[in-house]
Amino acid sequence: MNTGREIVFVVARAQDGTIGQNGQVPWKIREDLRHFVALTQGTPMIMGRKTFESLPGLLKGRRHIVLTRDREWRAEGAEVAHSPEQAMDIAGKGTISIIGGAEIYDLFLPCASRIELTEIHEETGGDTKMDAPGPDWREIARQHHPAEGKNPAFSFVTLERST
């Protein structure tokens, strides 16, 4: 894969590793949604088919590159790729946002340069999990937000590859 560009994971993850439940994000935290928009605005987003189908619609100001094994799959507004290399070629030069799901994160982890992680401080018990970033990642920024109303406490964490 071409790694001559910044490949950024944008992901929200609960303490138990949950990133999804029944094809949806299991929490709706307004600040996290704003953070997601700010991080992905103007970048091509690479995602799996299930992630694309879970979106409320096409997200303005971003390209939607969908990586799928299904050679027949098409959707309005989606640019379809069948391999990580093809997805990156379609994305072109510049920063690329990887937005999920778990299999897509696994495929792109070897070439990711930064992780923008929203740590959800709860045990969610979802059906889609992602491992915590390993020892080859170092935290360079953290902004904590306490629990408020129905929202659990969460932190915005930026990690960079250390090796």
Q: Is the dihedral of CA 15, 18, 19, 25 positive or negative?
A: negative
Nearest to 45 by CA among 8, 83, 1, 82: 8
State the Cα–Cα distance between residues 161 and 159, nearest whole angstrom: 7
> How many domains is the chain built from?
1
Determine what percent of the chain is predicted with pLDDT higher than 70: 98
CB 105 within 8 Å of CB 89: no
Report whether pLDDT(10) > 60: yes
State the Cα–Cα distance between residues 114 and 153, nearest whole angstrom: 23
Q: Note the pLDDT of residue 3.
A: 54
- Over residues 144-159, the pLDDT tens digits come to 999 999 999 999 999 9
- Provide the pLDDT confidence category of residue 163 given band limits of 50, 70 and 90: confident
Answering whether pTM is above 0.85, one says: yes
- What is the domain range of residue 123? 5-161
Q: What is the mean pLDDT of residues 78-85?
A: 97
Distances in Å between the Cα of 109 and the Cα atoms of 76, 106, 123, 143 are 28, 5, 24, 23
Round the average pLDDT of the chain to a whole number and report it. Answer: 94
Supply the CATH number for residue 82's domain. Answer: 3.40.430.10
Q: What is the mean pLDDT of residues 35-50?
A: 97
Report whether pLDDT(2) > 90: no
Helix/strand/coil (H, E, C) string of 4-52? CCCEEEEEEEECCCEEEECCECCCCCHHHHHHHHHHHCCCEEEEEHHHH
- Over residues 84-124, the pLDDT tens digits come to 999 999 999 999 999 999 999 999 999 999 999 999 999 99
Q: Is the dihedral of CA 12, 36, 63, 88 positive or negative?
A: negative
Backbone angles phi, psi at 9, to 5 degrees: -80, 135
Backbone angles phi, psi at 20, to 5 degrees: -160, 160
Report whether pLDDT(1) > 70: no
Q: Note the pLDDT of residue 152.
A: 95
Q: What is the mean pLDDT of residues 63-92?
A: 97
- Over residues 120-136, the pLDDT tens digits come to 999 999 999 999 988 99
- Provide the pLDDT confidence category of residue 74 given band limits of 50, 70 and 90: very high
